[in-house]
Amino acid sequence: MSAGRAQRWVFVVKKGYQDTDTSLQSSVITKLKGVAFTNTSELGERLWDVADYVIPPQGENVFFVMTNLIVTPNQRQTTCPEVGRTESFGSQTPTKLGSVNIPDALCHQDEDCPEGQAVVAGNGVKTGRCLKDRDSIRGSCEVLAWCPVEKRSKPKKPLLASAENFTVFIKNSIRFPKFKFSKMNVLATNNESYLKTCHYSMEHPYCPIFLLGNIVRWTGNNFQEMALEGGVIGIQIEWNCDLDQAPSECNPHYSFSRLDNKFAEKSVSSGYNFRFAKYYRDAKGIEYRTLFKAYGIRFDVMVNGKAGKFNIIPTIINIGSGLALMGAGAFFCDLVLLYLIKKSNFYRGKKYEEVKSSSRKSLTSPTLNGSQSPDQLGGL
Amino acid sequence: MSAGRAQRWVFVVKKGYQDTDTSLQSSVITKLKGVAFTNTSELGERLWDVADYVIPPQGENVFFVMTNLIVTPNQRQTTCPEVGRTESFGSQTPTKLGSVNIPDALCHQDEDCPEGQAVVAGNGVKTGRCLKDRDSIRGSCEVLAWCPVEKRSKPKKPLLASAENFTVFIKNSIRFPKFKFSKMNVLATNNESYLKTCHYSMEHPYCPIFLLGNIVRWTGNNFQEMALEGGVIGIQIEWNCDLDQAPSECNPHYSFSRLDNKFAEKSVSSGYNFRFAKYYRDAKGIEYRTLFKAYGIRFDVMVNGKAGKFNIIPTIINIGSGLALMGAGAFFCDLVLLYLIKKSNFYRGKKYEEVKSSSRKSLTSPTLNGSQSPDQLGGL
Amino acid sequence: MSAGRAQRWVFVVKKGYQDTDTSLQSSVITKLKGVAFTNTSELGERLWDVADYVIPPQGENVFFVMTNLIVTPNQRQTTCPEVGRTESFGSQTPTKLGSVNIPDALCHQDEDCPEGQAVVAGNGVKTGRCLKDRDSIRGSCEVLAWCPVEKRSKPKKPLLASAENFTVFIKNSIRFPKFKFSKMNVLATNNESYLKTCHYSMEHPYCPIFLLGNIVRWTGNNFQEMALEGGVIGIQIEWNCDLDQAPSECNPHYSFSRLDNKFAEKSVSSGYNFRFAKYYRDAKGIEYRTLFKAYGIRFDVMVNGKAGKFNIIPTIINIGSGLALMGAGAFFCDLVLLYLIKKSNFYRGKKYEEVKSSSRKSLTSPTLNGSQSPDQLGGL
């Protein structure tokens, strides 16, 4: 019967007899390992290690692994055309670029570039000059900015493709304050060598070291694709502990999902990238910088969980209300009797007669109880 | 009646018939756009772009926009007076400053500056010398520190006042794992050009691009004031979805509030600022740095929400307990009468007789109530 | 009686008569103060201030204080042996080191170092050469990396031991949106000077300035030990406010706990450290860097809380279900019948007669039901 089912649900599924602690205290420490070698025109031969590609460096629960980047070296504060002629002039004419990317930087004469005005969605403030090629009628406004400005072309293949083989060590310590219960996702039994060699998988559910490539695969994505555009991946660690059992039964359960919208592939809202710069001073103390537009994968480690332990109070509460649930039964019966059954008029009559009888002195009321019959008999 | 009202409340207001998922999975990506031009004595003409004023650079759900700063260039590890004589000597005498800001650095003779002792709330460790001006009797302890030390004067107007016109693109993807429902705050229907031009407002509730100036205004604050001292602003994104309706009905609701205490204007606990440095090496490889005391606005994007979907279990629970509110009594009475009382067989008999009686016309039923007795009597 | 106990529990302990708001809005701003002086072989005399040892600099709710570090200065992109011969050759022979730390870098001839292969758990990619000492038969693969590679030795005592005396100012503003209630952990009554001098303690429960040493002590740990290996400490701020009382009664409660597993002292999973680098350019524009392996203490400030205020709805719900627990219905009916109706004496009489009747065999009980009337008639 419905109430009974609900009752069973409350107890078996919801563990209604337990007191639960959902205020999980958790700390996550992440540590990446791996190096990548690249050979590009801008940077030449270069080796990337943890200090280069992990941002921010302090291994917190959110970390970003750079998998692709656009480098704009030796930028200085000076003037240059808003639209990247300086480096990719042959390939892309400023006019075309300008019209496509930064309409606001497009100009026919100097009047189109009011001095001091910032270029909308651009890199600098206009100087008042319109830079044109001899042949073309349209040009690009000159701007005061970090020059040369960044090129708008993106590599077709991820630069740090080998990031797929990087590993991350996720160290998660939790504590349920109410029950004074602490545990780690690193099994105490694990020996050093095991932790140096193992990788998390179905076979090694308690190894806290993950291959980035696997993590991405488990979310149903292709690492190389994701490395090109960037994205965000969530690593859920769930601690669902029944502390009435042995502590060894309380283990983390990992799940992986892509958090950003992968379907918006070619839209403005696809991927994940950001810009940062390294600042230098030359011999004369003039500042210059190297601008990086970094594409990559951000990993969010999210820990949640709850613990349950037998406690008398919730047990009583649930049993009590459970019983109450079945008390409803009586009410149901009446419902049935009063409305659902043919020929119930008779019963209804009786039902309410009884109530009326108590509200006003009625003739029928005496008949309710034999003790009055003597009078009646007397009245005969 | 009270129980009835509560019952209605449970169902209509609390959607008691739905199973809810509050374990929202969310990812936030933020991207700022805008440039600012400044012209100061320390820095000269300078253009600030995203890589300069956004800290940290990786667009997470918490980001800081620098709106004002105190720059202390070319600091080196050497000795200097704790109190800023080096740069603003005429304006502020060390004695006055010392007494006001850093009492611990105040000295009359060298004995007041024990060597190796750190200056409380200061910038360095004392060298043991007390630096005095010819005329004054009080001076400032000499310290080993990053010299020259930072000036204590703050600009009267925000340096990057134009940050008011910067825009931030907030990309929020959410997922309700229990219902396998995903959505983004960027409408799929939006075309590129719309997303390049629109700004969030009453007219454009689904445009995810916000003017910083508007955000601050909506919290009831003045951007220029806030830019001077700094502050913290919360951007709440709420997803409250009834998944029994169409997915298009599940939309984010934005709200903005100032999180730090604006009323503590002139107190120690007003505003928001922090210090960071850029490190350089000179030709001889000696390290020096530029210290920045950055004032600005920190934005915390907080996403929360819940989704509801019809489910039979909670419906039963709530109906049940609702009914129980009104029906339980009968059940308890029966319990007492049926099981707890000696010699209750007799009553039990009646009890069930009654039920039977109402299901089929039985001879015993009349006997239940005196109103039939006339017939009986008549039958005599 | 059990239901009664539960009922009392619901009301007194759980404040069942209050509407609660658990959606706390909180902002945390942290600011460290203090300087440390060190004198090491690598760095010489050096003074560390906030900009040097706080990572990240923007004072958010999670901040890291560097207490120990391994510095590897002047790294350049070139080739060198994977195992640190360059600096500590005498002390540690590569073979020994290799076998202990990086088995993959161990080699007997060049074939053991396939070109282009990354060293597992190493610092670079192999160049194909095996570097051996004249006498030894085993050597270390040569790698392309940031050279020289980091030494594997750790200082025996924390470098910034004096971090124990650093202070942190934790500014926490909260808001309960449902009740439009805001408060700060900085008492408005506090005067500047008090906030400049006070330290949080049993005597000063409302001073928001904490000595790092104390925080660590309160978690039951030794600062100097923790400073050596690093660790994570949680600072819980709990706001548990009964808004039926005066706002001044709503105060934060601080608690401190170590979040990482201190017991895994000597294991791979002990402590907290990460690597970061500062990048420079030499006169010829060649990039080089200083690598830091930073050990230290990460502090997570976690704010949670809830507020309660009297509200009629939950009161009804709880009273209702509470009563239901005990069979309220019957009670209600009786209430009506016994006290609210005129001329109910008669029913009351019956009521108690009935109860008596069921407790002891009484003459009246038969009269309850007409089925006995035959006997009565028979008795005529």
Banded model confidence at residue B233, pLDDT cuts 50, 70, 90: very high
Is B130's pLDDT higher than 50?
Answer: yes
- Which chain A residue shows the shortest CA-CA distance from B360? A343
Point out the residue among A50, A182, A313 whose CB comes nearest to the CB of C9.
A313
Residue C273 is assigned to a ligand binding site: yes
Alpha-carbon distance of B137 to B110, in angstroms, equals 12
- Which chain A residue shows the shortest CA-CA distance from B62? A62
Host H or E run for residue A37: strand A36-40
- Which chain B residue shows the shortest CA-CA distance from C177? B257
Host H or E run for residue B375: helix B373-379
One-letter amino acid at A7 equals: Q
User: Would you call the peptide bond into C56 cis, given omega within 30 degrees of 0 as the criterion?
Assistant: yes
Any chain A CB within 8 A of the CB of C272?
yes
Which residue of A22, A29, A288 is the best one to mutate when testing the C interface, meaning the one whose CB has the most C CBs within 10 A? A29
C356 dihedral zone (left: phi>0; alpha: psi -120 to 50; beta): alpha
Average pLDDT over residues B374-379: 40
DSSP string, B61-116: SEEEEEEEEEEEEEEEEEEEESS-HHHHTTTS-HHHHHHHT-GGGEESSGGGS-TT
Banded model confidence at residue C289, pLDDT cuts 50, 70, 90: very high
Average pLDDT over residues B207-213: 93
Any chain C CB within 8 A of the CB of A189?
no
Any chain C CB within 8 A of the CB of A76?
no
The token duo for B125 is: 């460790």
Average pLDDT over residues B243-247: 87
Point out the residue among A264, A325, A367 whose CB comes nearest to the CB of B321.
A325
Q: Which residues contact C104 (CB under 8 A, 6 or more apart)?
A: C119, C120, C121, C122
Percentage, residues of chain A above pLDDT 70: 70
Strand extents, DSSP E, C215-271: 231-242, 252-258
Looking at chain A from residue 20 to 39, which residues have their Cβ under 8 Å from any Cβ of chain C?
23, 25-27, 29, 31, 33-37
- What's phi and psi for B63, nearest 5 deg? -140, 150
Cross-chain Cβ contact B49/A145 below 8 Å: yes
Assembly ipTM: 0.76
- For residue C332, CA distances in Å to A161, A350, B337 come to 75, 21, 18
Point out the residue among A3, A144, A280 whose CB comes nearest to the CB of B47.
A144
Mean pLDDT of chain A: 77
pLDDT in tens, A174-218: 888 888 888 888 876 656 677 778 899 988 888 899 999 999 999
DSSP string, B185-220: SS-TT--HHHHHH---SSS-TT--EEEHHHHHHHTT
Q: Are A119 and A136 in contact (CB under 8 A)?
A: no
pLDDT in tens, B140-173: 899 999 999 988 777 788 899 999 999 999 999 8
Within 8 A of B60 by CB-CB distance, chain A residues are: 62, 298
Nearest CA-CA distance, residue C111 and chain B, Å: 39
pLDDT in tens, C37-82: 998 877 788 999 999 999 999 999 999 999 998 999 899 999 999 8
Q: Which residues pair with B107 in a beta bridge?
A: B139
> Mutual orientation of helices A312-335 and C312-325 as an angle, nearest 10°?
80
Is A35's pLDDT higher than 50?
Answer: yes
3-state helix, strand, coil in chain C (%, to 5): 30, 35, 35
Point out the residue among A49, A184, A313 whose CB comes nearest to the CB of C269.
A184
pLDDT in tens, C179-229: 888 888 887 665 667 777 889 998 888 889 999 999 999 999 999 999 998
The token duo for A208 is: 């806290």
Within 8 A of A317 by CB-CB distance, chain C residues are: 6, 9-10
Residue B157 is assigned to a ligand binding site: no
Alpha-carbon distance of A263 to A363, in angstroms, equals 78
- Which chain B residue shows the shortest CA-CA distance from A331? B327
pLDDT in tens, C310-335: 877 767 766 666 655 555 445 555 55
Residue B151 CB coordination number (10 Å): 17
Q: Which residues contact A44 (CB under 8 A, 6 or more apart)?
A: none
Q: Is B354 helix (H, G, I), strand (E, B) or coil?
A: helix
Within 8 A of A51 by CB-CB distance, chain C residues are: 146, 275-277, 289, 291
Q: Are C184 and C173 in contact (CB under 8 A)?
A: yes
Q: Are A167 and C121 in contact (CB under 8 A)?
A: no
CA-wise closest residue to C71 among A311, A308, B279, A313 = B279
Write b or e for each residue in C256-274: b if 16 or more Cβ atoms lie within 10 A of its Cβ, otherwise e. Answer: bbbbbbbebeebbbbbbbb
Which residue of A331, A338, A363, A368 is the best one to mutate when testing the B interface, meaning the one whose CB has the most B CBs within 10 A? A331
For residues A360 and C134, which has the higher predicted lDDT (pLDDT)?
C134
Integer-rounded Cα Rg, in Å, for chain C is 37
Which residue of C21, C27, C282, C367 is the best one to mutate when testing the B interface, meaning the one whose CB has the most B CBs within 10 A? C27
Average pLDDT over residues C124-141: 86
CB pairs under 8 A between A and C: 150
CA-wise closest residue to A297 among A183, A202, A193, A214 = A214
Point out the residue among B46, B171, B330 whose CB comes nearest to the CB of A269.
B171
Any chain B CB within 8 A of the CB of C59?
yes
Integer-rounded Cα Rg, in Å, for chain A is 37
Alpha-carbon distance of C300 to A26, in angstroms, equals 10
Within 8 A of A175 by CB-CB distance, chain C residues are: 257, 259
- What's phi and psi for C197, nearest 5 deg? -110, -25
Q: Which residues contact C80 (CB under 8 A, 6 or more apart)?
A: C86, C142, C143, C145, C147, C148, C149
- Tracing tokens 């109070």 back to the chain, one arrives at A313
Mean pLDDT of chain C: 77
Residue B333 CB coordination number (10 Å): 18
What was the pLDDT predicted at B96? Answer: 39
- Tracing tokens 């406690």 back to the chain, one arrives at A311
Point out the residue among C27, C57, C369 whose CB comes nearest to the CB of B350.
C369
The token duo for B117 is: 């002792």
For the ranges A316-330, B43-57, B253-267, the one whose mean pLDDT is highest: B43-57
Task: Write down how long chain C is.
Answer: 380
Chains interfacing with C (3 or more CB pairs < 8 Å): A, B
- Label the pairing between strands C287-310 and C231-242: parallel
Count CA within 13 A, CB hemisphere, residue B362.
16
Q: Is B134 helix (H, G, I), strand (E, B) or coil?
A: coil
- Tracing tokens 């000077």 back to the chain, one arrives at C193
Residue A129 CB coordination number (10 Å): 17
pLDDT in tens, A223-233: 999 999 899 99
Any chain B CB within 8 A of the CB of A340?
no
Alpha-carbon distance of B100 to B82, in angstroms, equals 13
What was the pLDDT predicted at B298? Answer: 95
Average pLDDT over residues B206-230: 92
Average pLDDT over residues B38-60: 89
Residue A78 is assigned to a ligand binding site: no
Nearest CA-CA distance, residue A330 and chain B, Å: 6
DSSP string, B137-165: S-EEEEEEEEESPPP----SS-TTGGGGG
Residue B156 is assigned to a ligand binding site: no
Any chain C CB within 8 A of the CB of A356?
no
The token duo for A346 is: 């008779």
Banded model confidence at residue C89, pLDDT cuts 50, 70, 90: very low
- Tracing tokens 């996403």 back to the chain, one arrives at B303
Count CA within 13 A, CB hemisphere, residue A273.
21
Nearest CA-CA distance, residue B373 and chain A, Å: 8
What was the pLDDT predicted at C10? Answer: 59
- The rounded Cα B300 to chain-centroid distance in angstroms is 5
Alpha-carbon distance of B344 to B350, in angstroms, equals 10
- For residue B220, CA distances in Å to B215, B233, B258, B298, C25 come to 9, 11, 8, 16, 17
Residue C275 is assigned to a ligand binding site: yes
Alpha-carbon distance of C80 to A308, in angstroms, equals 55
Q: Are C130 and C95 in contact (CB under 8 A)?
A: no
Residue C360 CB coordination number (10 Å): 9
CA-wise closest residue to A127 among A135, A139, A117, A138 = A117
> Which of the residue ranges B51-55, B279-283, C86-90 would you say has the lowest mean pLDDT?
C86-90
Q: Is A379 helix (H, G, I), strand (E, B) or coil?
A: helix
Using a 10 angstrom Cβ sphere, with 0-12 exposed, 13-18 middle and 19 or more buried, the burial of residue C195 is middle
Q: Which residues contact A148 (CB under 8 A, 6 or more apart)?
A: A72, A75, A80, A84, A86, A87
Q: Are A305 and A262 in contact (CB under 8 A)?
A: no
One-letter amino acid at C45 equals: E
Cross-chain Cβ contact A341/B331 below 8 Å: no
Residue B32 is assigned to a ligand binding site: yes
pLDDT in tens, C90-122: 333 433 343 346 788 888 888 889 998 888 888
CA angle C348, C349, C350 (to 5 degrees): 90
Alpha-carbon distance of B116 to C44, in angstroms, equals 16
Any chain C CB within 8 A of the CB of B58?
no
Point out the residue among A2, A62, A353 whose CB comes nearest to the CB of B320.
A2
- Which chain B residue shows the shortest CA-CA distance from C373? B367
The token duo for A311 is: 């406690």
3-state helix, strand, coil in chain A (%, to 5): 30, 35, 35
Within 8 A of C45 by CB-CB distance, chain B residues are: 77, 144
Banded model confidence at residue A121, pLDDT cuts 50, 70, 90: confident
| Number of H-type helices and E-type strands within chain A | 10, 16
